[in-house]
Amino acid sequence: MVPLSHIAVLGSTGSIGTSCLDVVRQHAGRLRIAGLAAHRSVERLCQQVSEFRPDWAVIGSEVVVIPEGRNEGTRWFRGTDCLRSLIRAPEIDTVVCAMVGAAGLPATWEAVDAGKRVALANKESLVVAGSLVMKRAAETGAQLIPVDSEHSAIYQCLQSGRREQLRRVILTASGGPFRGRKRSELADVTPEMALKHPTWNMGPKITVDSATMMNKALEIIEARWLFGLKAQQIAVTVHPQSLIHSLVEFDDGSVISQFSPPDMRLPIQYALLFPDRLAGPAKQTDWTRAQTLELLPPDLEAFPALRLGFEAAARGGTCGAVLNAANEIAVERFLGGELSFLSITQVVEDVLNHHQFDEQPSMSELLAADRWAREEAIRWKI
């Protein structure tokens, strides 16, 4: 019998976190929630705790009040030190990193350092510090399995060939809500328009990233580190139906793709049960219906974020940290009505161009580059 896997879900109240709990509900014989952590959604966390009865519940924010009348058996903690203890607890074997933004990096680092299986939904961990995270994972034996749907697809496709005979990976992009628009038609985009995604239902930050295609830029950088690729080995194709989640091409010209309805519960389950593929909660393909698949070249003029992604992947070093940090601030400022839609990518490009590039930064140098880029992006004016 396969032993029960004890899981800590970091970011359990977000979109990936709740999908993860859906998966666990369906595989109670294989997966057990041992720890739940949320930043500040304490009510939701309480509901999850009363359903899953984990050993640990951690609330990240120092200002949120933990309510009275909690169930027995769950120990409640607050703050990042406790999060570290949860990740390192010997009874935890799998850590789901589902926090949003660069704030997820310390937790991913801790899990990798402790040699756990890491179901990685926080792409920023690799965008910011991919070289250090992958090196540490190789040293500790931590198994890093991506939850990002594109990278999960690539991970799955790579099982069908030899790594040294891989020619390239092709990331699919839905194209977001503004696919097909020219650059001039993007000037008046409001936050409300950018927050409507045609195929994926996600949090606001990633939905805006999808509209600018900065999400794909982050995924290019993520893929570069996760799979040890050169930037030239990564391509992007626009696939509006979001049914093919990415493809890999081998030296013989064969292209392998992973196809399934858009549903994050599939890549989450794959990461939690790898290498098993069991019937689960994810939506299934209806083979009685006609399906049309389009694969279109991306428009780099309308969506210059893609170009920045390729550049940052090629240069490596501090570029990922700077690109990501500038983008996090620019998206916040756009949602707050301070910046136009087209300015988001412009801020990122300007901050990237002005930064002090370091080819082999340490973790503290990466964090300093991240802080510097945030300050620059806050100051940025047209």
The footprint of Mg ion (CB under 5 A) covers 148-150
State the nearest-atom distance from the C-beta of 134 to Mg ion, in Å: 19
Residue nearest to Mg ion (CB): 148
Of 12 and 149, which has the nearer Cβ to Mg ion?
A: 149
Q: Are 179 and 295 in contact (CB under 8 A)?
A: no
Tokens coding 108: 């991913």
State the nearest-atom distance from the C-beta of 218 to Mg ion, in Å: 9
Question: d(Cα 338, Cα 224) in Å, to the nearest integer?
Answer: 33
CA atoms within 13 A on the CB side of 285: 10
Of 120 and 342, which has the nearer Cβ to Mg ion?
A: 120
Q: Are 137 and 114 in contact (CB under 8 A)?
A: no
CA atoms within 13 A on the CB side of 47: 7
Q: Are 311 and 232 in contact (CB under 8 A)?
A: no
Question: d(Cα 377, Cα 350) in Å, to the nearest integer?
Answer: 9
Of 148 and 328, which has the nearer Cβ to Mg ion?
A: 148
Of 148 and 299, which has the nearer Cβ to Mg ion?
A: 148
| Amino acid identity, position 80 | T
Question: d(Cα 10, Cα 12) in Å, to the nearest integer?
Answer: 5
Of 117 and 123, which has the nearer Cβ to Mg ion?
A: 123
State the nearest-atom distance from the C-beta of 17 to Mg ion, in Å: 16
State the nearest-atom distance from the C-beta of 239 to Mg ion, in Å: 12
Q: What are phi and psi of 23, to 5 degrees?
A: -65, -45
Of 222 and 311, which has the nearer Cβ to Mg ion?
A: 222
Three-state SS at 356: coil
Q: Are 190 and 282 in contact (CB under 8 A)?
A: no
Of 55 and 150, which has the nearer Cβ to Mg ion?
A: 150
Q: What are phi and psi of 328, to 5 degrees?
A: -60, -45
State the nearest-atom distance from the C-beta of 246 to Mg ion, in Å: 9
Give just the sign of the alpha carbon dihedral 369, 209, 179, 338: negative
Of 27 and 151, which has the nearer Cβ to Mg ion?
A: 151
Of 215 and 343, which has the nearer Cβ to Mg ion?
A: 215
Q: What are phi and psi of 301, to 5 degrees?
A: -80, -45
| Amino acid identity, position 87 | I
State the nearest-atom distance from the C-beta of 208 to Mg ion, in Å: 14
* Phi-psi region at 244: left, alpha or beta (left = phi > 0; alpha = psi -120 to 50): beta
Q: What are phi and psi of 18, to 5 degrees?
A: -70, -35
State the nearest-atom distance from the C-beta of 268 to Mg ion, in Å: 12
State the nearest-atom distance from the C-beta of 16 to Mg ion, in Å: 11
State the nearest-atom distance from the C-beta of 240 to Mg ion, in Å: 15
